[in-house]
Chains A and B, each alone.
Chain A
Amino acid sequence: AQTIHQWPVAEIKAVGSPLSLGCTIKGKSSPNLYWYWQATGGTLQQLFYSITVGQVESVVQLNLSASRPKDDQFILSTEKLLLSHSGFYLCAWSLGDWYYEQYFGPGTRLTVL
């Protein structure tokens, strides 16, 4: 069975500090991977997607970057956090493009102070 893990579960960070959020998918080879972000009470926004290892496409610019160092791993990061980065980060995978169902991870709640 496929499983998707996100780490950490929650994080409290200071403005200006670096951030690294991770996502791992087990049990599925060569999935498409996605990062989403949702401000508290806000609309879910797609940030990045990746079709293959080493290739990441940006959808919304939020002073964040993403990388896919392995087939089953997707990393979201920034060198300097802003207050506006607070929110809920979700990772998802699918077998193909958007036409196929997306499966979401449990999410990471980030608070920037």
Chain B
Amino acid sequence: GQQVQQSPASLVLQEGENAELQCNFSSTATQLQWFYQSPGGSLVSLLSNPSGTKHTGRLTSTTVTKERRSSLHISSSQTTDSGTYLCAIDRANAYKVIFGKGTHLHVLP
């Protein structure tokens, strides 16, 4: 079945540093989304990016579909960016989703 691997598993930064998160998946995906999960558990969609490069605020995602990988770049990190970043793809069914284990980001003041 489809698998999603995220790296690194955890990342510690000083405020102001940039972060680069990776997502690799085992088979072609028609949709890929990045989510942020707060320490309390709530989930927010950050970017929908099945291919190419997309920007929103301090976030940039680049997905290379042929190479089955996506990255999420966070520029000028802030302490409020701390939490878990999840990558998710479709399971070859438009309504089915598989998530990676996430990257735990901790930004120090």
Contact = CB atoms under 8 A, between A and B. Distances in A.
B64 interface: no
B99 interface: yes
A102 interface: yes
Nearest to A90: B43
Contacts, number: 58
A102 B45 contact: yes
A107 B42 contact: yes
Nearest to A57: B95
Interface residues of B, number: 25
A79 interface: no
B41 A103 contact: no
Interface residues of A, number: 24
B45 A43 contact: no
Taking chain A's interface residues, is the majority helix, strand, or loop, or is none over half, making it mixed?
strand
A83 interface: no
A88 to B, nearest CB: 5
Contacts of B102: 43
Interface of A: 32, 34, 38, 43-46, 49, 51, 57, 59, 88, 90, 92, 97-99, 101-104, 106-107, 109
Given A99-B30, A101-B48, 13 more contacts: A38-B41, A44-B43, A44-B86, A44-B99, A59-B96, A98-B93, A98-B94, A99-B48, A99-B90, A102-B45, A104-B42, A106-B42, A107-B43
